[in-house]
Structure 1
């Protein structure tokens, strides 16, 4: 009996020692590590991909859930027939206007060249007539001087004839010269009158050419209008080309199809989700650490990670960032504690973890697990 009591006391003592050692190690572990099971795998890039500005019937769905895609891959296509028809119509209108512009430009250049030549000719004609007028006016002036002198001589010879101081022939000669000069002046005056008439005609012709030159201005305005129409159509064409391009849904980055929201043949609106794309190359750990455990946790601390889906796999990580506010701060409906009436709830501080080792190919966005961060 005594022997059994002694054995029991020994076992009790050993158990007590073991409990003390385990308790000590547990306390030391709590001091050395901050642990929680609120650990999740996340990605920096998760995008719900949709058609931009385009509504219509999906004619191609090129990927299924789980497929890998590269940035720029065509994930799906909407029927672009209507836009192609619009593009052909715009191209036809542009080509028609360009042809009209070319013909109008040729006509304008030809007309402008012809009218400029005509104007130069009319200018030269007017200048020539004006020179002739000046020349005839000078000739008439010279004849007037001669007539003035000859009339004086005529009157003097007439008096001398009456006094029989000169011969009859001398008087007849000066009389003949006077008639000749008067006839010459009359002829020059008629020609001068004719030249003035020619000048008027030349001036009218020149004015008519100037009127015709206004046609060039009108043609230039029409060309400008054509340029504006062509420019507007080209902008419309650029927009249609973009719309045709938007009919092809392209992957914005490398990733894996996480969800497919539409099927081939379905009609979708612009902005409707077609695929969910996940970037699996930038996965990180997201921890919601209880506030009472956060003390001593800093960027650079090493972490041990276990993923629930892979209990036999070991992962390691490093604290990248300890967020400056609790997760509840970002809730859509944050708790109202202004009245002081609330139930005390342990707050959780988000921590970002970078994976540093382990079979990262196994990781999937949304997986949960446990983490131990060495303080």
Structure 2
């Protein structure tokens, strides 16, 4: 009887251990964590014009594959060409003004040299007139010369003195004019730089009339049509890099205890039930999806009900798998992570 009770006790203990182990595996101890709250995503780019204008050409169709830099659409560039021509003319005018000032400076330097030479000639004549006036003064004082000759000599001296003052004034004016011309050179250089900047902007605006693909991908949500007037920044179409698609899987916070980067992931896409895809965890989000909500929850007031939060996990596909090129953004996925295995 005692042995029978011992056997029953051992069996009961084994059953309890099995139940606890199975419950642990089912509740939180499983090595595979799964979620069906997962979708295929990609870093899509909405293409917008940098200028307002009328669409003159649309170079792509819906769902077309494009390469980075490929022409997608083109704005009517006639106004931009006129603006570019006007800017180029302004540059030429500024260059001509600068060249004209350079020639004027050279000419003004020659005028200054001429005025200096005239002053030297006048100085020589003035010196002769001073000596001549002194000579007639001495003769007049000695009674050998006439008063008329003395007055004539003094008048010539005064005339040459006035000529000297006039020539010096002309030289000073020429020097000051040269300073003004040199100052105008700085203004002309600034005007040329401004005209070049305007031409660069006109060239940029003309280049903006051609709207190109920012990356490789597939055209989606194309709303632009020929003849439509579009505004600056208005979305025209999206370029979706389907070859770089990834999965965002929202796991419950209770599933992340042993989850980390580089772990292997099995991905089942609803559109391809016949086989699964392989992937790996690239990163875990720094916060729950609710944390980035426009209206954050306030649990400090009222009744509180605990809700298990979900953390977005980014999963990349392994390369060289069949049907990868058939994946599309938004497809539903069931993601299963084996927390005991790494890629």
TM bucket, shorter chain: 0.7 to 0.9
* Cα deviations by residue, 1:34-78 (Å, 9 ceiling, x for unpaired): 1111222222x21111001x1121111111222122222221111
* Cα deviations by residue, 1:261-294 (Å, 9 ceiling, x for unpaired): 2212211111110111112343222111122322
Q: Does 1:120 align with 2:116?
A: yes
The 1:107/1:366 distance shift into structure 2, 3 A limit, reads: same
Aligned to 1:163: none
Counterpart Cα distance in 1 of 2:315 and 2:31: 18
Taking the TM superposition and a 5 Å limit, the aligned residue runs for 1:62-211 are 62-110=59-107, 112-129=108-125, 131-132=127-128, 182-183=143-144, 191=153, 194-211=156-173
The 1:294/1:99 distance shift into structure 2, 3 A limit, reads: closer
Counterpart Cα distance in 2 of 1:120 and 1:209: 7
Aligned to 1:267: 229
Q: Which consecutive residues of structure 2, in runs of 5 or more, have no partner in the other structure?
A: 1-17
Aligned to 1:367: 331
Aligned to 2:298: 336
Taking structure 1 as the reference length, the TM-score comes to 0.72
What SS does structure 2 have at the residue aligned with 1:273? coil
Taking structure 2 as the reference length, the TM-score comes to 0.78
Q: Does 1:248 align with 2:210?
A: yes
Q: Number of residues paired by the alignment? A: 318
What SS does structure 2 have at the residue aligned with 1:346? coil
Counterpart Cα distance in 2 of 1:339 and 1:300: 41
Q: Which consecutive residues of structure 1, in runs of 5 or more, have no partner in the other structure?
A: 1-19, 145-178
Shift in Å at residue 243 of structure 1?
1.5
Contact 1:74-1:248 within 8 A present in 2 as well: yes
Aligned to 1:50: 48
* Cα deviations by residue, 1:82-140 (Å, 9 ceiling, x for unpaired): 12122223333443454455445434422x14422322222212432454367568878
The 1:66/1:116 distance shift into structure 2, 3 A limit, reads: same
Structure 1 range deviating more: 63-72 or 180-189: 180-189
Counterpart Cα distance in 1 of 2:285 and 2:111: 82
RMSD over aligned Cα, in angstroms? Answer: 3.4
Contact 2:36-2:335 within 8 A present in 1 as well: yes
Contact 1:35-1:371 within 8 A present in 2 as well: yes
* Cα deviations by residue, 1:272-321 (Å, 9 ceiling, x for unpaired): 10111112343222111122322222223222121111112222222222
Bigger-Rg structure (1/2): 1
Counterpart Cα distance in 1 of 2:24 and 2:303: 36
Q: Does 1:323 align with 2:285?
A: yes
